[in-house]
Amino acid sequence: MAQYTPQELADKLKEGLLSFPVTAFDADLKVDEAAYRTHLAWQSSFDVAGLFAAGGTGEGFSLTPEESARVVWMAVEEAGSRVPVLASAGGSTAQAIQNAKDAEAAGAEGLLLLPPYLTECDQAGLLAHVSAICSATSIGVIVYNRANAVYSAETVAKLADRHPNFIGFKDALGDIEHLTKVYAKNGDRLFYLGGLPTAETFALPLLQLGMSTYSSAMYNFVPEFALEFYRDVRNQDRVAVNEKLNRFVLPYLEIRDRAKGYGVSIVKGGLKAIGRDAGSVRPPLQDLTEQDVADLSALIDAAGIRPRDAAMAQPA
């Protein structure tokens, strides 16, 4: 059972850094439960505001519904007593409803609703889709504004009016005019988080548009640096943010941009570089090359941000 009401969850999430743990796979690309639990134990040992299981960085798009439910259940069991754990839902409306029910049964605190699968849709369809998921669960629901699911300010307002458990708006487009309209129309009824890759690059300007937090993929392998970066953003310390951008984030992007799909692959590459290997990515993604991993490892060292805790955390 969830420990937070939807509004309590929103209040918690909007004031801290968020992240999506990778899902560990073994040599046969099956979910590696022991390695996943080890990673969760480490990730939840820092002062992070929330962890989203089976999300984009967690390769939720490659998980079967049964695997997704199991991954969320393990995350709640391993980390839920220390940090709010949220799940993801996607695919068809029926599949997303099943994801939501599985997440609530596992004890997840909330849900990130990914865009519907493939098809184009207009505002009336998006409204019906999200309403169906919100009505199927009592936990907090956050929509992900991207791809074929671009929510108008009016649609967001209708959802907020109809569903008390609709609590958040995550953006992966960075359209300033659109974000201004959404925030102006809905204000503090919701919380707003950045979801552009890599989120640190956009964090400071998006703060001015009402986005008090964002999801950090690099938190997976350099958590202390990611938390320091977030504190600098919230303090609006432009000098410190720019220093960290130049020292690590921008060179990191150069490695990320070497191949399509590396936005996820580089996170597992980072874990390999620091000695916390979580296995390969599943197709259609591809792993970083050995040279890419070596370059990333060298960058981590040059930036002076290799995690201090070098020993593998043990599952609770």
Active site residues: 144, 170
CB environment 69-100: b (16+ within 10 A), e (fewer): bbbbbbbbbbbbebbbbbbbbbbebeebbbbb
Half-sphere exposure of 3 (CA within 13 A, CB side): 11
Answer whether 149's CB lies under 8 Å from 116's CB: yes
Residue 279 dihedral angles phi and psi, to the nearest 5°: 85, -175
Query: Cα dist. 80→3, 76, 160 in Å?
Result: 9, 4, 27
Residue matched to tokens 């970083």: 288
Tokens of 237: 């310390």
Tokens of 35: 């390695």
Answer whether 159's CB lies under 8 Å from 132's CB: no
| Amino acid identity at 248 | F
